Amino acid sequence: MLQSRAADSVAAFVDLCNSPLWTGKNNPSGKVIKNILVFLCRDTRVTPVFGAPQNEIDGIISLNEEKSAATQKKGAGGAKDVEEETEQQLMMRLNQRGALATFKALATRFGGSLFDQVPQFWLGISSALLETFPDGKYGGRYLYLC
């Protein structure tokens, strides 16, 4: 409940910063959006990694790493041991949940005009793809990011 209220407040703050009512010297909404995206993308089990290592060019890298780790665990012992989460892992999960709530609050508040009113949002979402595929092609096919 508290994270939901905080997420709504962050969305309202970003809305204010991007409105004509904002009179500050600098618009902090870009930094806020960047931090939200960092918290969202921190867990590679949820967010795919697009930058390919030199020896690997096919597939989504984070999925390949996850399959490799699962194969090693099967070979090592078979049965899964339930591990306790460390305090750092709990904090990361809490931050990620708050970032997801903020992401949803921004999407709800701005609706279909989110990318127009908050261009930093689109840049943050698409930058990894655009850096990985600068010519807009993969395997001779065009990628459409619109």
Domain count of the chain?
A: 1
User: Over 80: is that where the pLDDT of 44 sits?
Assistant: no
DSSP sequence for 57-118: -SS-HHHHHHHHHHHHHHHHTSSPPPPPPPHHHHHHHHHHHHHHHHHHHHHHHHGGGHHHH-
Q: Over the stretch 107-130, which tens digit does the pLDDT of each residue have? A: 999 999 999 988 888 888 888 777
Q: What is the dihedral of CA 47, 114, 38, 27, to 10 degrees?
A: 170
Q: What is the mean pLDDT of residues 30-47?
A: 80
Q: What is the mean pLDDT of residues 28-45?
A: 83
Q: Which long-range contacts (CB under 8 A, 24 or more apart) does 64-67 make?
A: none
Q: How confident is the model at residue 101 (pLDDT cuts 50, 70, 90)?
A: very high
User: Over 70: is that where the pLDDT of 46 sits?
Assistant: no
Q: Using CA of residue 96, residue 146, residue 124, residue 23, what is the dihedral sign? A: negative
Q: Cβ distance 11 to 109 under 8 Å?
A: yes
With b meaning 16 or more CB within 10 Å and e meaning fewer, what string describes 25-46? eeeebbebbeebbebbbeeeee
61 compared with 37, residue with greater pLDDT: 37
| Unique residue bearing structure tokens 């012992």 | 77
User: Over 70: is that where the pLDDT of 58 sits?
Assistant: no
Q: What is the mean pLDDT of residues 57-65?
A: 55
Q: What is the mean pLDDT of residues 59-85?
A: 58
Query: What distance, in Å, lies between the first and last C-alpha atoms of the chain?
Result: 34
- Mean of the per-residue pLDDT values of the chain: 77
How high is the pLDDT of residue 7? 93
Domain that holds residue 22: 2-142
Of 51-65, 69-83, 97-111, 113-127, which one has max mean pLDDT?
Answer: 97-111
129 compared with 53, residue with greater pLDDT: 129
Q: What is the mean pLDDT of residues 15-38?
A: 89
